[in-house]
Structure 1
Amino acid sequence: MQVAGTEIWLKQQDLHTLGISAVRGKLPQGEWVKLSDIPGISARYDALNQQLSLSASMTALSRRQYLAWQPQVSQPDTPATNTLLGNLTLGYSLNATHATGYQYASAQTSLASSGWLPGTMSSSFNSRVAENPQDTQASTTRLMTAWQFDDSQHQISLVLGDAITSGVTWSRQVRFGGIHLARNFQLAPQLNTSPRAEYSSTAVLPSTVDLYIDGLKQSSQQVVPGQYILATQPTFTGNGQADIVITDINGQRKVVSLDLYGAPQMLAAGLSSGTLDVGWMRQNYSLNSNDYSPYPMLDAGWRYGANNTLTLALHTEQQRTVHNAGVGAYWLPSPWVGVLSAHVAVSHSSAAPGKQWGVGWQWNGQGYAFSASTTLRDNTFADIASASGVVAARRSDAAWASTQLGPLGQLGVGWVRQYATGSNEQYLNASWSKTFAHGVNTNITWTRDIAGRDSQINLTLAIPFGFHDQLSAQSTGSSQQWRYRHQADNDQGGWSWDAGQSNGSQKYHYADVGNLNRYGEWHLGINKTQTETSGWLTGEGSLTLLRGHIYPMRQSHQGVALVSSNSIPSVPVYQENRLVGKTDDKGWLLLTELPGYHTSKITIDPLNLPASVMTPVTERYVSPGTGQVVLVDFDMKEALSVMARLVNTHGDPLPMGSQVRLRGNSTTKSVARDGMIWLENPTLPAELEVTTSQHLCHARLPARLAGQSYLQLGNILCQ
C-alpha cells in the first residue's frame, strides 16, 4: 500500500485477492491502482493505528461464490471398510400343499457366488411336482443365469447372461440373454439425480449460509461479501420445503423459503443415463430352460439433462423383422406448472410401418397431486415385445388426483381406459383413507367398471394392538372377512400367527403359525372351505459357505456382514443402534439385509463384557454391494497382564535398566527396581531374553490358564 496525501494506492494482485474490480470488470492498467479511480470504492486510512478501511458497493465486487450442496454427515471414527469374503450361497423358497386328491410341492432355489473373483455369479431354478389320482408331473426349469459386475464409483452395471431390458418409460421390457450395460444410480443411494433448484443472493458482510430441508439441517457454509449461488439439492424424493438461513457476523438473520419439486424421471443439468442390451430374446420363460429366439436383438436407451428444466430421451429397438426408434422429452417450465412429457416412436416391420405417440402431465405440491397421460399406437406399430406374441394396447388413458385433507384424511380419484384388439376396458376409482388416534386406520374404495356396468365398494378397518398385533375387518359387497395377525419382530425374530374367516358366497376359515429366526422363516397353515380342507407348509432361507463353514441364515436380497468378536461369545451387536443379535460361542454373527451400497454402522456393546476384554474400537462402517459378504472385525482381545521378578542363579534380582524382550520380538522393556518386570498381552508360554550390562540370560514364562487375565509369577530364574 502507498499513501500520498489523501490518495491511496494498492497493488492489482491485492485488489484481485479482495475480489474488487471496476464496473466494467477490469482494473485500471498498472501495477499500482489508485483506489479513487475505481467506482464504488471508498477508502479511509488511519495512520496512527496503521489500519485501512475499505467500503465497496456490490458492483465493485467481482467474486461469485458457488456453494455446493454438502450434507452434514457425521464422520465415523473409522472409515468404511469392505473386506470382501469369498462365499457360495444357496437360497431356497419351499412350498408344499396338500388337499383332498391333490398334492403339490415346489422349490425355488438360487446359487450365487462372490468375493473370490470380481462381480457376482448366480443361477436360479424352479422345481415342482404335482400329484393327483390320475398321474404325477415333475419338472425343473432354469430361470436366470448371469454374471454381474457393479462399479459403484461410476454407477455402471455390466451383466453377462440373462437380464431384462431397461429401455425408457414408453417402451416395454423383455427378458433376454446376452449383454446388459447400464448406468445404475442405485449403486449410489445418496446421489440425487433430479434437477436442483438454485438460490442466488448477495452478502454485504461475511456470513454463514445454512440449508434446511423439511426442518433438518443439511449444510452450513461460510461466504465472504459478494454474490453467492447455493444449489439446494432436493431430498431423495425431491418433494419438500427448503429454508435458507443467512446469518452475518453481527448476528442479523434472514430466512428464505423455497419449494422443492419432485421429478424423478428428470435428470439434473449435465447428467446422463443410458442402457445397452444386446442378445437373444427369451421365450417361454419359466417353462423352458434354454428357449431363446434365433434372431439377435438390440435395445438401447439414453436420457440427458439438457438443463434443470429439460430432459431429453432417445430409444431404439432392432431385430431381424422389427425396427423402431423414438424420441421423448420431460419439461419442467415451473414448479407451478408441473412436468410435461411427450414422446413419439416409429417402427418398421414385415407387416407395415407404424407409429406410437404419447403425452403426459404431472403436478404435485402443497399436499396435492395430479397426473394425466395418454398413449396411442397404430395396429401396425411393432416392438421386440410384440415379436414374442404379446400384443400391446392400442390406446391407454389415465388420470389421477389426490389430496391431503389434514385431519379429514386423504382422498384420491382415478380413471383408467384401455383399448386393445377385441376388448375395451374402462374403470373409475375413488378412495378415502384416514388414520385415527392410536394407529386405527380405515379405508373406503369405490370401483366402477364402466364397460361391464358393475360397481364395487370395499371397506377396510384395521385396529393395531401394540407394535406386532392387528385386527382387521373388510367388507366387499356380500362378502365380509376378518383377520387377526401377530407379527414377529423383524430384528429379534420370534413366533407369528394369523387367523381369519370369510362369510358370504365363498366361506372359508384359515389359520397360520410361523417362526422367524436368524436361520430363516417357516409357516404351517390350514384352510377350510365348504367343500374341502387343505394345508400348507412353507419355508425360506439360505445356506452360505464362508471360510470353510456353512452358515444357515435368512434369505438375503441385499448385502451381508459377518461380525467377528475374535472367539469371544455373547457380544451384543447393533445395526444402526438396533440390537440385532449376539455373537455365538465361536464369536461370529451373520447380519443379513444390509442395504446394498449404503454405508451401515455396526457397533458392539462392551459394557457387560469382562474387564479383561479389550475393545480397541466399538463401531465399524461397511457398505457391501448386493450379494456381497463383508467382514466386520472389532479386533477384540482377552487382555493379560504378567508381573514377575527376574533373579540370577544366586537369587539376586537383575540390575535395574536391563533390557527384556520376548524371543522373536524386537520390542524391548526395561527391568524395574528389584528386578520387577510388567508385560502386557505376551504370547504364552514364552522365552525371555534379558541383556544386562555384563551378560545375556534367558528366562521362561509358563503357559496361561483359561480365564486368567492377571499373572503374578514371583521369582523367575534367568540363566
Structure 2
Amino acid sequence: MWIALLLSGVHAGACADPVMSTAVAPPAAMAAAEVLEPGDGEAWLAVQLDPREPAQNFLALKRGGRWLVRGEDLRRWRLRLPETEPLMRGEDAWYPLDAMPGLAYSVDAATQTMSMDIPAGLYDPSLVAERPDYLDPTPSPPGGFLNYDVAAERRDGQTHTNALLEMGAFKASGSLLGTFLAGEWQDGLRLKRLDTTWTQDRPAARTSLRLGDAISGTTGWARSVRFGGVQWATNFDTQPTLVTYPQPGIAGEAALPSTVDLYINDALRSRQEVPAGPFTLQDLPVMTGQGEMSLVVRDVLGRERVISAPYYASPRLLRAGLHDYSYEMGFVRRDYGLSSNGYGRFLAVGTHRLGLSDRLTGEAHAELQRDQQTFGLGGVMLWPGAGVVNASLAASHGDGGDGGLVALGFQRQARVLSFGGNLQFASRRFRQLGLGSVRRWQGGSAGPGGYAPDQDASYEEVDRQVPRVSSQLFVSLATRGQGSFGLSHVRQDYRDEADIELFSANYSIGIGNLGFLSAALLRTLAPRMETSLSLLFTLPLGDRRTASIGTRREGGDQQATVRLQRNLPTGSGYGYRLLAAVGEPSRGEAGVSMQNDVGTYSLEAARYAGKDGVRASARGGVVALDGSAYLSRHVDDSFAVVKLPGYPDVRVYADNRLVARTDEDGNALLPGLRPYQKNPVRIEQADLPMDAEIDAIALDAIPYGRSGVLLAFPIRRSRGATLTILLEDGRPLPAGAEVHVAGQAQGFPVGQRGQAYLTGLSEHNRLAVTWRGQHCVFDATLPLSGDALPDMGRFLCIGVVP
C-alpha cells in the first residue's frame, strides 16, 4: 500500500535530505533500558492511510537515520507492533519503522512527503460477521383469540358436522392455548379436548417453559411422544435470525481498502467494504449442502482478485458451544383425539445436544419409566468435502431384560449428486418410547397376504418392538437440461410382525415454457407385492392458475385425471378446483373458495364410484385486544392492533403492503405478523387531516409468538390556526419575528405579510411576540368552527417599532 505522509512541521535539522529506507528483516532488538530524550529529531507529520479519507497528524522521531513512530499510532493505523523492544520516552513506546518486515519507506524533505509501501500482512486482521442482532420483543397486553374451522358434509343421505376450535389467551407473562374437536360421535355430539398448554417464552435465553400437553424431545434414534406435564426446552424460534448450524467463513487480504463481493454458487449474496490488510468473512449466508464460495476483491485502483473455496454446511450440526435441549416429565398421553383426559404411565425424558466444535455435535438422550429405562449417546460429524456422518449407541433396561441399539448413517447433499443412508440394529429386548402398540391375535393363520385372524380369535394390546434391522437409502441426481432423478429404498425387519420394504423412483423435468413433467414409481416388496406407477404433466396458465393431466396405475386399476385449479391469493379473492377422472375408480370433483379479511369459505361437490357428496366449510378467527374485538382470518401467527384514536379510514401498511384501514374508532387489526422479528408498520400520512400532529408515521412491531401487541402512534390534534400581526402603524410585522403561546416552550416564526401559524392552542390564548429585543403581548381566541385551518384574525403589536 502507498501512503503519503505530508510533512507539516519538521523540527530544525530533523530532515535535511531525502532518505530512502527498506526494512527487509527486523534488526536486533534494542536495549529495553535505552531512553529517548526530548527534542531528538521531532517532526509533526500527516499520514493518509486511505486515499479516500483525510490525512491524520502524528508525531514522529528521527534518531541515527532511523524513523520512529509511537506504538499507539501504529495500533490506530491497525499495524502490528514490531517484535523488537521499543524505545521509551516518558510513558510512550516508540518503534523504528525499519523493524517492520517488508515495509519500504522514503522521506523527501524538498516535497515534505514520506511514502510507504506496506505489505498487507503487517495489518491486524479485520473480522466481518453476518450474524444479525437479537431483537427484544414487545410484552403483550392481556388479550386473546378464537380460531374456528367448521365443516358440514352430506353423503349417503346423512349430514355430518364437525369443528376444530382453538382458543388462546396471552399477557406479558405467557400464553395459554387450547384446542378442541367438536363433532358427531357414536355416542352423539361431543366436544373432545386435544391440547391445553401454558407457554412462557424467554427469547433472550432461547428457551420455553411449557405446562400442560406437549411433545417430548428427540434425537436421531429416539422417538417423540405426547404427554401431559412440564417441559423446559430450547426454542430457537424465539430468535429466528439465529442460524444454529456452523456457517463457513473465507479469508483474504487487501493491499488497499477494497470492496468485496461474495458469491455463493455463482450467485451474488452480499457486497461490503473492507480495510487494508488481512480480513475474514464469517457466518456467511450459504445454502446447506456442498457448494463453493468466491470473493471478488476490488481495490480503490480498480484492480480485482478472486478467492474461491469449497464448503459444506449441514443443519444437523450445531455451532461450537451451542446447546439444544429438552427436559420433560409427566404422563404419557393415551387415545389422543378420542379421549379428552386419557393419560397413562409416568415418564421423565431428557435430550441434550451440544456443538463440541464446528465439525462435531454430541447427543445424549434418556428415558425413564417405572418398567423401562433407556439411555443413549450419539454424534454427528462433518466429513469435510464429503458430507456428515452420524452414529448412535443406546441401551435399555426393563422388566423383559436388557437390550441395545446401534445406528450408523451418512448423508451428502450437493447441487448435482446427493446420496445417503442409515442403518440401525436393535436387540429383541431393546425398549423405547413412542413405538405405540399392536394387537397380538390368539388364533389365526399366516398366508401369502399376511396374518389372517380367525373369526372368533381374540387379541391383546402389546407394546410394539423396535425393528431388528432398519435401513434407508437414497440417491438423487440433478442435471442441466436433462431433469432430476431420485431413488430410495426403505426396509424394516421385524421379529414378530410382517416386514416392511418399499422401493421408489421419481423423475421430473421442465419442458421449456410449456410446463413440468413428472413420473413416479412405488414398489411395495413387503408385506405384499404391489406396484404403483404415475405420470403427470402440469401446465402453468398464469394468474395463479394451473392445469394438469395425468395417469396412474395401481395393481389392476388404471385411472386418467384432468385437473384445472386456481389458488387463493394472499389477500382477498377467490379460487376454484375442477377434477375429472376416468377409469377405476371414476370420480369428479368441483370446488370454489373465497377469502376476505375475516375468513376463508369453500363449497365442494364430489362424485366417487357412483356416490355423491357435498361439503361446505368456513375458517376464520376472532381477536380480542385492548377492550375491542375484531373479526379476522385464522390466527396462525402474531398480530398487532394499530391505535389512531379519532382518525378513521386511515390506510395502514405492513412491510409496505396495504393490510387494513382504521375503523370508526381509529383502530385497525394487522394479522400475519412474524413473531420475534421486526415488522415495519406505517400509516398513510395523506389520510390524516391538516390539524393532525404526528411524531412518527412508522413503527416497528416485534410481537411474541401467537400473541398481539398494541401500536399506539404518537398523534394528536394540533388545534392550530393562523393569524396576522400588524405594527401600530398598520404595516405587517417583519418576517423573522417569533410568537410564543403561554405555557409552551416552542416558538413559532412570523412569515411574510405578518402571518404566522400556531399549534397547541386552547380556546383563550395569551400570545407574546419578540423582535430585535422588543416585545408585545395580546390575547387571541380560537374560533369554534369546523374549518380544518381556522383564522383568528388581525392583531396589533403595541410596543414593537421597525
- TM-score (norm. length: structure 1): 0.86
Partner Cα distance (1:509, 1:444) in 2: 23
What are the within-5 Å matches in structure 2 for residues 310-325 of structure 1? Answer: 310-325=360-375
Q: Does residue 1:68 correspond to 2:119, yes or no?
A: no
**1:543 CA drift (Å):** 0.8
Distance 1:81-1:639 versus aligned 2 partners, 3 A rule: farther
Q: Aligned match of 2:600 in 508, 513, 521?
A: 521
**1:280 CA drift (Å):** 2.0
Partner Cα distance (2:729, 2:254) in 1: 81
404-413 or 229-238: which moved more? Answer: 229-238
Q: Aligned match of 1:114 in 170, 195, 215?
A: 170
Distance 1:27-1:326 versus aligned 2 partners, 3 A rule: farther
Say which SS state the counterpart of residue 186 (structure 1) adopts: helix
Amino acid at match of 2:784: A
What are the within-5 Å matches in structure 2 for residues 441-452 of structure 1? Answer: 441-451=516-526, 452=528
Verify the 8 A CA contact 1:311 1:329 in the aligned structure 2: yes
Partner Cα distance (2:70, 2:633) in 1: 71
Per the alignment, residue 218 of structure 2 pairs with 167
Amino acid at match of 1:401: V
Count the aligned residue pairs: 694
Per the alignment, residue 428 of structure 1 pairs with 503
Verify the 8 A CA contact 1:410 1:432 in the aligned structure 2: yes
**1:414 CA drift (Å):** 1.1
Partner Cα distance (1:44, 1:186) in 2: 58
Per the alignment, residue 342 of structure 1 pairs with 391
Q: Aligned match of 1:364 in 413, 417, 438?
A: 413
Q: Aligned match of 1:497 in 568, 576, 601?
A: 576
Distance 1:16-1:483 versus aligned 2 partners, 3 A rule: closer
Partner Cα distance (1:458, 1:674) in 2: 84
Partner Cα distance (1:283, 1:291) in 2: 5
Distance 1:306-1:80 versus aligned 2 partners, 3 A rule: closer
Amino acid at match of 2:183: R
Say which SS state the counterpart of residue 197 (structure 1) adopts: coil
Per the alignment, residue 485 of structure 2 pairs with 411
Per the alignment, residue 703 of structure 2 pairs with 624
What are the within-5 Å matches in structure 2 for residues 446-485 of structure 1? Answer: 446-451=521-526, 452-477=528-553, 478-485=558-565
Q: Aligned match of 1:306 in 356, 363, 380?
A: 356
**1:363 CA drift (Å):** 0.9
Per the alignment, residue 764 of structure 2 pairs with 687
Verify the 8 A CA contact 2:259 2:299 in the aligned structure 1: yes
64-73 or 454-463: which moved more? Answer: 64-73
Verify the 8 A CA contact 1:70 1:218 in the aligned structure 2: no
Partner Cα distance (2:94, 2:695) in 1: 60
Verify the 8 A CA contact 1:660 1:671 in the aligned structure 2: no
Distance 1:217-1:640 versus aligned 2 partners, 3 A rule: farther
Per the alignment, residue 451 of structure 2 pairs with none
Partner Cα distance (1:248, 1:651) in 2: 69
Amino acid at match of 1:466: G
Verify the 8 A CA contact 1:80 1:620 in the aligned structure 2: no
Per the alignment, residue 45 of structure 1 pairs with 107
Verify the 8 A CA contact 1:488 1:516 in the aligned structure 2: yes
198-207 or 651-660: which moved more? Answer: 651-660
Amino acid at match of 2:406: W
Per the alignment, residue 2 of structure 1 pairs with 61
Q: Aligned match of 1:542 in 605, 612, 621?
A: 621
Residues 374-433 of structure 1, C-alpha deviations (whole Å, 9 max, x = no match): 122222111233587354433221111112222222211111112233111211111111
Residues 95-115 of structure 1, C-alpha deviations (whole Å, 9 max, x = no match): 222223433221211111123
Per the alignment, residue 105 of structure 1 pairs with 161
Verify the 8 A CA contact 1:90 1:111 in the aligned structure 2: yes
What are the within-5 Å matches in structure 2 for residues 703-714 of structure 1? Answer: 703-705=784-786, 708-714=787-793
Partner Cα distance (2:115, 2:752) in 1: 67
Partner Cα distance (2:733, 2:246) in 1: 76
Distance 1:710-1:325 versus aligned 2 partners, 3 A rule: same
Residues 525-572 of structure 1, C-alpha deviations (whole Å, 9 max, x = no match): 222234432222211111111222211101122111223455444444
Q: Does residue 1:86 correspond to 2:142, yes or no?
A: yes
Distance 1:653-1:246 versus aligned 2 partners, 3 A rule: closer
Distance 1:192-1:102 versus aligned 2 partners, 3 A rule: same
Residues 44-66 of structure 1, C-alpha deviations (whole Å, 9 max, x = no match): 3334445444555677x3x5424
Q: Does residue 1:223 correspond to 2:281, yes or no?
A: no
Partner Cα distance (2:778, 2:718) in 1: 27
Partner Cα distance (1:581, 1:655) in 2: 47
Partner Cα distance (1:562, 1:289) in 2: 34
**1:267 CA drift (Å):** 1.3
**1:21 CA drift (Å):** 4.6
Amino acid at match of 2:62: V
Gaps in structure 1 of 5+ consecutive residues:
74-78
Say which SS state the counterpart of residue 153 (structure 1) adopts: helix
Q: Aligned match of 2:285 in 201, 211, 234?
A: 234
Q: Does residue 1:137 correspond to 2:188, yes or no?
A: yes
Gaps in structure 2 of 5+ consecutive residues:
1-59, 438-462, 798-802
Per the alignment, residue 560 of structure 1 pairs with 639
- Among all aligned residue pairs of Structure 1 and Structure 2, give the percentage whose two residues are the same amino acid: 24
Q: Aligned match of 1:176 in 227, 230, 235?
A: 227
Verify the 8 A CA contact 1:658 1:690 in the aligned structure 2: no
Partner Cα distance (1:304, 1:702) in 2: 72
Distance 1:140-1:355 versus aligned 2 partners, 3 A rule: same
Partner Cα distance (1:639, 1:156) in 2: 46
Distance 1:198-1:114 versus aligned 2 partners, 3 A rule: same
Q: Aligned match of 1:264 in 312, 315, 323?
A: 315
Partner Cα distance (1:150, 1:627) in 2: 11
What are the within-5 Å matches in structure 2 for residues 269-288 of structure 1? Answer: 269-288=320-339
667-676 or 203-212: which moved more? Answer: 667-676
Per the alignment, residue 76 of structure 1 pairs with none
Distance 1:579-1:303 versus aligned 2 partners, 3 A rule: same
Verify the 8 A CA contact 2:732 2:753 in the aligned structure 1: yes
387-396 or 85-94: which moved more? Answer: 387-396
Per the alignment, residue 680 of structure 2 pairs with 601
Say which SS state the counterpart of residue 162 (structure 1) adopts: strand
Q: Aligned match of 1:532 in 611, 635, 648?
A: 611
Per the alignment, residue 193 of structure 1 pairs with 244
Partner Cα distance (2:95, 2:564) in 1: 84
Amino acid at match of 1:201: G
Amino acid at match of 1:402: S
Q: Does residue 1:127 correspond to 2:179, yes or no?
A: no
Say which SS state the counterpart of residue 302 (structure 2) adopts: coil
Say which SS state the counterpart of residue 499 (structure 2) adopts: strand
What are the within-5 Å matches in structure 2 for residues 651-670 of structure 1? Answer: 661=741, 667=746
Per the alignment, residue 295 of structure 2 pairs with 244
Residues 180-230 of structure 1, C-alpha deviations (whole Å, 9 max, x = no match): 2222222222221222223233444444444344533435242333x3333
Query: Cα RMSD over matched residues?
Result: 3.6
Verify the 8 A CA contact 1:159 1:179 in the aligned structure 2: yes
346-355 or 453-462: which moved more? Answer: 453-462
Partner Cα distance (2:429, 2:157) in 1: 48
Residues 509-540 of structure 1, C-alpha deviations (whole Å, 9 max, x = no match): 22222221111111122222344322222111
**1:263 CA drift (Å):** 0.4
Q: Aligned match of 1:329 in 379, 389, 411?
A: 379
Partner Cα distance (2:248, 2:745) in 1: 61
